[in-house]
Amino acid sequence: MTNCRNLTAILIFIVLALKGQAQFVNSYTAENSPLPFNTVRCLEYSNQTLWIGTDYGLAKLENETNWTIYNSMNSPLWNDNIRALKNDGDSLIWIGTIQGGLFKFDGSEWVNYTPENSGIGDFLVRGIEIDLNGHIWVATTEGLYMFDRNSWNSWSSDDGLLSNNISTICADSNTKYIGTINGGVLYFDALNNFTNHTIISSGIPDNSALDVEIDLEGRPWFISPAAGLVVDMGNGGPWNSFNALNSDMPANSLLCLTHGEQGEIYIGSESSGLITKIENVSLQLNADNSNLTDNH
């Protein structure tokens, strides 16, 4: 998963305010706040604290007022290109970078996991998930990795994956849902046996998934670069897709998603801003009809 699914606590007020026709977007930029850079790659929210990953470091915003910035100049976070974030309890955060591997930070101590000192096989971490056993799942361009806090396991093309380029991970009580680039989607069971769903094997509309989120009914939703928004209605199909051709979806070029407390779906797009899907209706929020500063 791309951590977009952890936006629920921040984005939920957009719909509530929209119903009241109020101003519904508070914009923080590098110009009006300590935010290091205007391109935000990932977000994680817990206990009144928002972690923000950018191309120029990690920001922590507490209680919407107190900022702390971590980067290669003032911390052991020696790579500033943040791509993934995951809360682990009240104070621990896992951080994925584009060239620095995986970091763990408890508020005072930093631990860095790289191919040089651990079982992770890539310096580029695209996604992080924690399952119910407390195991850390890591998406990289060199395969899928799982850290049980003592040792590492890995899965790659040598183990039957159709692509080593893992893009996103999301876990529920029984299954880990894993998206790849050009290799279909993987369903890992409780024993970590996996099934690969592709266009050929199960009829999924696209072999690439950029993000995945599990809704309140336990169904996985996938962001597809070609087919738009895709939901698995069973267990490996049938698949329903929502895109610009068959629905009110304004675009197929989607990037990430999350769901709200009432089952509504929030979708981040490449150039159409924020899209909300409530039941069978899609609503587009962009720079032209809201206080969003940019559609990208």
Tens-place pLDDT, residues 162-184? 999 999 999 998 899 999 999 99
138 with 147: CB under 8 angstroms?
Answer: yes
Residue 272: per-residue pLDDT: 62
Residue 26: per-residue pLDDT: 58
* Domain parsing of the chain, residue ranges: 1-32+156-296
Length of the chain: 296
* Amino acid letter for position 282: S
42 with 84: CB under 8 angstroms?
Answer: yes
The whole-angstrom separation of Cα 262 and Cα 240 is 20
Q: How far is CA 93 from CA 6, 7, 61, 108, 231, in A?
A: 13, 16, 14, 11, 29
Residue 216: per-residue pLDDT: 84
Q: What is the pTM of this model?
A: 0.83
- 150: buried, middle or exposed (CB in 10 Å: 19+, 13-18, 0-12)? exposed
Residue 40: per-residue pLDDT: 80
Residue 273: per-residue pLDDT: 62
pLDDT beneath 50: ranges in the chain: 4-25, 280-293, 295
First-residue to last-residue Cα distance in the chain: 19
Residue 151: per-residue pLDDT: 97
* CATH number, domain 1-32+156-296: 2.130.10.10
